[in-house]
Structures are given as structure tokens and as C-alpha cells.
Amino acid sequence: MKIEELAPQCVWKNFYALTQVPRPSGHLEKIQQFLLDFGKSIGVETWKDNAGNIVMRKPATPGLEKRKGLVLQAHMDMVPQKVADSPHNFLTDPIPAYIDGDWVKTHGTTLGSDDGMGVATIMAIMADKKLKHGPLEGLITADEETGMYGAFGLKAGTVQGKVLLNLDSETEGELYIGCAGGVDVTATMQYMEIEPEEGRKAFRVTLKGLRGGHSGLEICEGRGNANKLMGRFMREAVLQCGAGLSQWQGGNMRNAIPRDAFVVITVDENKERKLKTLAKRCQTLFAEELNTIENGITLTVDKCEFPESETPEEIRDNLINAILACQNGVLRYIPTIPDTVETSSNLSIVTIGEGKAEFSLLVRSSSDSMKMYQAVSLESCFTMAGMKVDFSGAYSGWQPNVESHVLAEMRKAYKKLFGKEPEVKVIHAGLECGIIGAVNEGMDMISFGPTLMSPHSPDERVHIPSVQKFYDLILHVVEDGVE
Ligand SMILES: [Zn+2]
């Protein structure tokens, strides 16, 4: 069987067509033209806005003009990842998709089902001439994967519908009604270095073997944060061994939980044994505390070249205190939705050395006010340590509304179609809904999709039976409308 022949054919034939059009993030000319041509071919008003988004507008079936307008939204770009030995060129080559049992997969590349399934579905609904519906719009955004540039560039009023169905979730049977926004917090300090005392020895202490992970989706698991653990070691190393701090490097990406960190320190010659014992004790303690969450933590002490300079004692103490004091991990769960993180922070990157210190953190929250509260508390903490604090890259979350009409409608539809309740969730990571909702006030939004596995990787695949269920559900909502 060919991909174009899978059910529902109206969706899969579009998906197949999309696999033939190169569309890695940042290179969207071909897919934009393809979508413009498609709109023209089916006689639906279609245009490109200034941010590169493609918008389609299909008037209501006569008699249903008074219904609330529905906006069907997906993103056109895909993540270009491939296995090391793949000759695939994402700028020119079609995606080599194929069917394997219940799954559509590809040979050594990402598949682009994230979010090609959403785009293919919008195309199918726009092309369907038999469907009865209220005012319908399609919003196919540009460059979601690299920074949501299309959503950020969307102007108020570009779409007129008041209900948004975002088709970019990855598990059939789950309805998303909220997501986290974020803000980058950066604390910096400059200082004069001093010369380490003579007659001391230098060591590089390395903490490794943590799991790390996504600073939103995995922040609730209590995984070890390399900078926090190193902070605890350093406090003891100063108290017990009088350690001088010359360098600190931990973590490398703002949105990842830091997996490793190292420091370069100096101690009196007669403190070498004490330092090594302390490192062993800390390693055992951390392993015990994080038992079942982490395994394989190592904290090693190695002789290294004697550094030319180090931080003055007072600065060293202030920086270590700030690392220990700053909030990291989950601050609060959503009061109205059990077991769902609302606000968190991740102390991701710490760099100290050569007269400069810089700490990078990412704060996330589905509540904009809690996000700023968290950012400001971090600012207070770092300011007390004498650091300068900047906020940047702030974007809005999508605050869940358990009273949402579209949620009620979709719950009812899901139960009627499949005889069970869907799961209702809030994701602790960014979705375009947060940004689109921020420019279109009062929009009632929901996010759902068919089941995809391992998006953003060459193992990406779509579960074929979930596509029919997803399509049945969306048709039901389009035909019934939302109050
Ligand atoms: Zn996506």
C-alpha cells in the first residue's frame, strides 16, 4: 500500500505531497509557494502575511454565518535531523517516507509529521466541499521549531476566528489547554582577580554522570542539577579546606538541566587528603539522595596546572551563596489542575573565571504574573550577591481555562465518538498558542493531534490508526461548531 492510500485518504494524500516539498526551518520559500498554489487550486482565499505565515479563509456554509469562527492552526516548517551516514539533502530531497505495519516512518531522516500531519489536515478540511461549517480559517505558521518566528510576527486581526484549534500535539487522546511561557534571567558580575597564595596545590573537581533533560518537560522529576550539587560541594570545600575558586563551568544550554560541571580550585598542600575525602563523601551523599532518579554520579578530584589568578574570598562566597540560594526546579503546581507544573526555574549555565561571573536561568510558567514573580525573586537573590540581573526573551504562556467552551465541546465529541474521556493536560513548555493568544485577546484555544513518536529525531514516526481518530474528532468539532 502507498502512503496516499491510507485512511483517511484526504489527509494522507496531502501528507504525502508535503513529504515531496523541502521545508526545513529557515528555508520555507518552496512550502509557502506550494500552499499558496494549493489554496488557489481549491478556490479558497489564501495569502502570505508579513511574517511568512500562510492564511486561508473559507466562508461559512450558507445559514451558518453566525457561528463562532474556527481557526485551524499548524506550523509548516520541520526539524532537519538525519543519521550520521545519510546522504539526504533537506533543501532539495523529498523525505523517503514508508509504511511499516501501523506506522509511517522514514529512512534515516526526520519525517516532518511534526507538524506535517497538522498542515495536511488543514488542507483536507479546506478542500472538502461537502462539509457544513461556520467561518473557517487556516493559519499555517512559519519557523515554529527555531523560535516561533511566524507566531511572534502574527498581527492582531490577521485571523478573525475566536476559537483556535492548534494541531501540533503528539498524543491522540490528549487535549492540551495550556502551556508555559518563559523568560531568560541572566546574572553577571565583573571583579578583579587576585593571585592565589603560594605553596598551595591546584585541583580540577569534576561532577559528571547526571541525566540532564528538558528544563520544562522534565523539571518535575527532581533530577540532579550539576551546578546546585557543585555549589554544595564548594561550600564545604571552602569551610573545611579553605578552597580558593579560580574557575567554574557548568551546563551548556539554557533549556537543558545541566548534566556536568567542573571547578578549578586551590587548597593548602596539607588539605589534599581532606579535599579528596570530601569529594568521596559528597559523591556518596548525592547518589543516596538521588537514588532511583540518577545513577552514575561521579565527583572526581584531579591535580591540574596552578592557576594564575582566582576570585577574591568575598566574591567567591557571594557567588557560592547565590548558587545555593537561588530557586531551582518546581516553584508551584497549578491549583486547578492536579500534578501539573505551573512555575519553574532552571539554573542552567554557570561560568566563573577571568574576572567575570555569569549565571543563565530559564523561568517557565503558564501564568504570566507568576513567571514575573519568579524572575523578580531570582533578581533579588542575585542582586544581594552584588550581581547585575537582566531579563530577556520573554514570551507569554497560555493560562489554562477549565471553563473553556472548546474544551467542553471537544470532551463531549471525544466521548461520543470513542466512548471514553480524553485526558486534559497543560504542557510545561512553549506552544504557539501562548503567543497567538497574546495578540488575539479572548481566543478560546485547544491543542491536539495524532500520535507521533520521537519527533525531531530520525526515529520520528506516525501511528496510522491515530490519524483516523484525530480526523474524526476534528470533523466533529468543525461540523458541530463551538458555542
Ligand atoms: Zn511541532
**How far, in Å, CA of 259 to CA of 15, rounded?**
38
- Residue 430 has what pLDDT? 87
Cβ < 5 A residues, ion ligand 1: 114-115, 168
Which residue is catalytic, options 143, 144, 184, 409? 144
User: What's the 208 CA to ligand 1 centre distance in angstroms?
Assistant: 32
- Residue 380 has what pLDDT? 98
Element spanning 33, H or E: helix 29-42
In 312-421, the DSSP E strands lie at 329-333, 341-353, 356-365, 388-395
User: What's the 353 CA to ligand 1 centre distance in angstroms?
Assistant: 39
Q: What angle do CA 335, 338, 344 make, to 5 degrees?
A: 65
User: What's the 427 CA to ligand 1 centre distance in angstroms?
Assistant: 13
Q: Considering the entire predicted model, what is its pTM?
A: 0.84
pLDDT in tens, the chain (483 residues): 999 999 999 999 999 999 999 999 999 999 999 999 999 999 999 999 999 999 999 999 999 999 999 999 999 999 998 888 899 999 999 999 999 999 999 999 999 999 999 999 999 999 999 999 999 999 999 999 988 999 999 999 999 999 999 999 999 999 999 999 999 999 999 999 999 998 899 999 999 999 998 888 889 999 999 999 999 999 999 999 999 999 999 998 888 899 999 999 999 999 999 999 999 999 999 999 999 999 999 999 999 999 999 999 999 999 999 999 999 999 999 998 888 999 999 999 999 999 999 999 999 999 999 999 999 999 999 999 999 999 999 998 999 999 999 999 999 999 999 999 999 999 998 899 999 999 998 999 999 999 999 888 899 999 999 999 999 999 999 999 998
User: What's the 213 CA to ligand 1 centre distance in angstroms?
Assistant: 19
- Residue 213 has what pLDDT? 86
Buried (b) or exposed (e) across 35-74, using 16+ Cβ within 10 A?
Answer: beebbeeeebebebbebbbbbbbbebbeeeeebebbbbbb
- Residue 474 has what pLDDT? 97
- Residue 217 has what pLDDT? 85
User: What's the 179 CA to ligand 1 centre distance in angstroms?
Assistant: 14
**How far, in Å, CA of 5 to CA of 470, rounded?**
17
- Residue 23 has what pLDDT? 98
- Residue 337 has what pLDDT? 87
Known catalytic membership, residue 403: no
User: What's the 400 CA to ligand 1 centre distance in angstroms?
Assistant: 20
User: What's the 75 CA to ligand 1 centre distance in angstroms?
Assistant: 7
How distant, in Å, are the alpha carbons of 91, 264, 318, 355 from that of 311?
49, 11, 11, 7
Residues whose CB is less than 8 angstroms from the CB of residue 21 and which lie 6 or more positions away in sequence, other chains included: 30, 31, 34, 94
Known catalytic membership, residue 144: yes
C-alpha cell at 14: 496531502
User: What's the 145 CA to ligand 1 centre distance in angstroms?
Assistant: 7
All structural domains of the chain: 3-180+398-480 (3.40.630.10), 182-395 (3.30.70.360)
Q: What is the CA radius of gyration of the chain?
A: 26
User: What's the 222 CA to ligand 1 centre distance in angstroms?
Assistant: 26
C-alpha cell at 11: 489527509
Q: Helix, strand or coil for residue 483?
A: coil
- 288: how many CB neighbours lie within 10 A of its CB? 9
Which residue is catalytic, options 77, 114, 145, 168? 77
- 100: how many CB neighbours lie within 10 A of its CB? 10
Question: Is residue 286 within 8 Å of residue 297, measured between CB atoms?
Answer: yes
User: What's the 46 CA to ligand 1 centre distance in angstroms?
Assistant: 22
User: What's the 115 CA to ligand 1 centre distance in angstroms?
Assistant: 5
Question: Is residue 223 within 8 Å of residue 210, measured between CB atoms?
Answer: yes
Question: Is residue 53 within 8 Å of residue 141, measured between CB atoms?
Answer: yes
Instruction: Please give the DSSP secondary-structure letter assigned to residue 398.
Output: B
Element spanning 30, H or E: helix 29-42
Instruction: Please give the DSSP secondary-structure letter assigned to residue 261.
Output: E
Nearest to 464 by CA among 108, 15, 94, 79: 15
